[in-house]
Amino acid sequence: MTEWWRGSVVYQIYPRSFADSNNDGVGDLNGIASRLDYLKSLGVEGLWLSPFFKSPMKDFGYDVADYTNVDPLFGTLDDFDALLAKAHEAGLKLTIDQVYSHTSDQHEWFRESRTSKDNPKADWYVWADAKPDGGPPNNWISLFGGQAWSWDTRRRQYYMHNFLSEQPDLNFHNSNVRDAIFDVARFWLDRGIDGFRLDVANFYYCDQQLRDNPPKRPEGGYPRPYWHQRHLYDRSQPENLEFMEDFRRLVDQYGDQMTVAEIGSDSYIDRSIEYTRPGRLHTAYNFLLLENGPLSPALIRNAVESWTSKTAWPSWSFSNHDVVRARTRWGGDDAPDAFAQLLMGVLMCLRGTIFLFQGDELGLPQADVPVDRLRDPEGIRFWPDSLGRDGSRTPLPWKHDAKNAGFSDTEPWLPVDPRHHDYAVDVQEADPQSTLNLARAFIRFRKRHPALQLGEIAFLDADEPLLMFQRKLDEETLLCVFNLSGDRVDAALPTAGDDLGYGLNGVLEGRVGKLGPYGGLVVSQSNAA
């Protein structure tokens, strides 16, 4: 088996904001298909599509009303099949998001479940009676604020929702629910998809006794109520791992597919390893490098070295649709292009499967979305303490001089940040030293060196701001050295070697790496003197 995903670079597409083919202001499947040449030119091995399923869009697709149908905003099933075929013709794997923890309250399963306590789907969701005082059954809190329970007047019970009240949680303790989810997976596997990204994969089961979560004092006084509990009972239950083993057995019947878990947990790495042990999912990524900072050699080293398993395979990403883009999160509003290029260089040298979020190959900063244009329910609820996720979800800029940066002739669902015109694809295509062209070069570089894709990683002690590690596979040993500061730094290398022309503002002079601001080197030590 080839295991196409191991060490590969997978490009995350947020369909609403990638490419609009019909000028309605929302990206779609045909838009993605029209840009496959661009995606192929990046050198990535695979694509991951965020949800495009039928949905009332309360959480913009992560509230699924029909798991086996495409929302008309994005096209049709025929459009999906055509996209899949074109991706495969281009040599690209296609993986899709699956949101199994919860559905939309408009899903036919929930519509039936809420009608009574004894209908055929009565136990398909997490329902519970009120406490004697009429309050919810326990103290669980929603990630989006407020109680994780909503009262249903017809059924006269509470239903659980880890997220919005419009996103009721499925009851995975019910075997009929598990069977229905397996049927959904088969539907897409039979169409020929190459894998699944499992949204909030450790949230499928909750404690059957509905015990209260104990309190917790969050470090740094994090303001959201959710982080003031230890989430012992509303997620990461032992049964969840048994389901992953069953799910893996199903997927393995289809050949070389990838399963990747999104892990939301205080124990970032430990929980990720737990979900990717042999017989479970192929890989997992977490939020350690998506939410924490500032950027430092210690942050990267501690994250990677925490992955102590020799059998579980890691995945890493610096940005996605749920967090502030890495350029801004780690570099601030004034971070130069060299900083964005440094991030790309570091990411492409890490051990694991790499997930690259759309726009990071352009070095996009976090977009500024005016408060009256916010669409994200999380951002709206927590404004002004947080502007939410909209700033990472704005349309991709394709053309500098075009209306809405060439995304659409119609006003997009989120506005294009005026600054993003200068980062447009057509501008960067014409500049050999642009972040886009360097990203392409870095991805090609990774593919040319098996040690970067599949090799072991070992960090070397170096004074800040230097990040230094070795990648080794068989006879190939590469030394990766990065300057995480905006100052020039000389890096004394442990041994001699050959400069591989990595192209990140650094040169090798004997055993000294001369690194410009945010510069880097990759040195071959295979035949070191």
Out of 166, 262, 378, 417, pick the active-site residue. Answer: 262
**Position with higher pLDDT, 265 vs 203:** 203
Q: Which residues of 455-490 are buried (b: 16+ CB within 10 A; e: fewer)?
A: bebebeebeebbbbbbbbbeeebbbbbbbbbeeebe
Q: Cα separation of 266 and 292, whole Å?
A: 12
Q: Cα separation of 373 and 17, whole Å?
A: 15
Q: Is 475 a catalytic residue?
A: no
Mean pLDDT for the stretch of residues 237-258: 97
Identify the pLDDT of residue 1.
55
Mean pLDDT for the stretch of residues 127-148: 96
Local confidence band at 220 (pLDDT 50, 70, 90 cut-offs): low
Residue (of 165, 129, 134, 166) closest to 147 by Cα position: 165
% of residues, the chain, pLDDT over 90: 91
Local confidence band at 268 (pLDDT 50, 70, 90 cut-offs): confident
What is the residue type of 480? C
Q: Is 322 a catalytic residue?
A: no
Residue (of 145, 128, 125) closest to 137 by Cα position: 128
Q: What's the pLDDT tens digit per position in 154-171?
A: 999 999 999 999 999 999
Whether residue 302 is predicted with pLDDT greater than 80 in this model: the reply is yes
Mean pLDDT for the stretch of residues 401-426: 98
Mean pLDDT for the stretch of residues 237-247: 97
Local confidence band at 383 (pLDDT 50, 70, 90 cut-offs): confident
Residue spans per domain, the chain: 9-103+174-444, 455-524
Mean pLDDT for the stretch of residues 512-517: 96
Q: What's the pLDDT tens digit per position in 449-473?
A: 999 999 999 999 999 999 999 999 9
- SS3 category, 222: coil
329 DSSP 8-state letter: H
Instruction: List C-alpha distances in Å: 484 to 235, 331, 343, 487.
Output: 36, 10, 9, 9
Identify the pLDDT of residue 221.
57
Out of 79, 194, 199, 274, pick the active-site residue. Answer: 199
Contacts of 105 (CB under 8 A, 6+ apart): 63, 111, 165, 166, 167, 168
Mean pLDDT for the stretch of residues 49-62: 98
Whether residue 212 is predicted with pLDDT greater than 60 in this model: the reply is yes
Mean pLDDT for the stretch of residues 200-217: 96
Q: What's the pLDDT tens digit per position in 348-374?
A: 999 999 999 999 999 999 999 999 999
Could you confirm whether domain 9-103+174-444 is CATH 2.60.40.1930? no
Whether residue 527 is predicted with pLDDT greater than 90 in this model: the reply is no
Fold classification of 455-524 (topology level): Immunoglobulin-like (2.60.40)
Identify the pLDDT of residue 219.
72
Contacts by 142-145, CB closer than 8 A, 24 or more apart: 142/226, 143/226, 143/378, 144/377, 144/378, 144/381, 145/224, 145/225, 145/226, 145/378, 145/381, 145/382
Chain mean pLDDT for the chain: 95
Cβ(480)–Cβ(350) under 8 Å?
A: no
Residue (of 482, 485, 479, 483) closest to 499 by Cα position: 479
Longest CA span, the chain: 78
Q: Cα separation of 453 and 473, whole Å?
A: 9
Identify the pLDDT of residue 270.
92
Identify the pLDDT of residue 422.
98
Whether residue 418 is predicted with pLDDT greater than 70 in this model: the reply is yes
Identify the pLDDT of residue 239.
98
